[in-house]
Amino acid sequence: MTQTAIDFDAPDLAARVGALSQGELDELPFGVILLDRHGTVMFYSATEARLSGYDGSPIGYNFFAMSRCMNTDEFRGRIMRAIEAGPVDLELGWAGDYADPASSLRIRVQSARNGGVWICIQRDRESLAGGGGRSERPAGHGPPP
For 113-145, letters b (16+ CB in 10 Å) and e give eeebbbbbbbbbeeebeeeeeebeeebeeeebe
Percent of all residues in the chain with a pLDDT value above 90, rounded to a whole number: 56
Q: What is the pLDDT of residues 54-96, one digit of tens each?
A: 878 899 999 998 877 788 888 899 999 999 998 999 998 887 6
Distances (CA, A) of 141 to 14, 89, 92, 105, 136: 17, 12, 12, 16, 11
Question: Which one, of 136, 77, 72, 73, lies nearest residue 107 by Cα?
Answer: 136
Q: What value does the mean pLDDT take over residues 108-125?
A: 90
Q: What is the pLDDT of residue 108?
A: 97
Q: What value does the mean pLDDT take over residues 6-12?
A: 95
Confidence of residue 99 (pLDDT cuts 50, 70, 90): low
Q: Is the CB of residue 35 less than 8 Å from the CB of residue 41?
A: yes
Domains within the chain, CATH numbers bracketed: 13-130 (3.30.450.20)
Confidence of residue 138 (pLDDT cuts 50, 70, 90): very low
pLDDT at residue 16 above 70?
yes
Q: Which residues have C-beta within 8 Å of that of residue 120, sequence separation ≥ 6?
A: 8, 13, 14, 17, 30, 31, 32, 33, 107, 108, 109, 110
Q: pTM, whole model, 2 decimals? A: 0.80
Q: What value does the mean pLDDT take over residues 8-25?
A: 96
* 73 vs 15, residue with greater confidence: 15
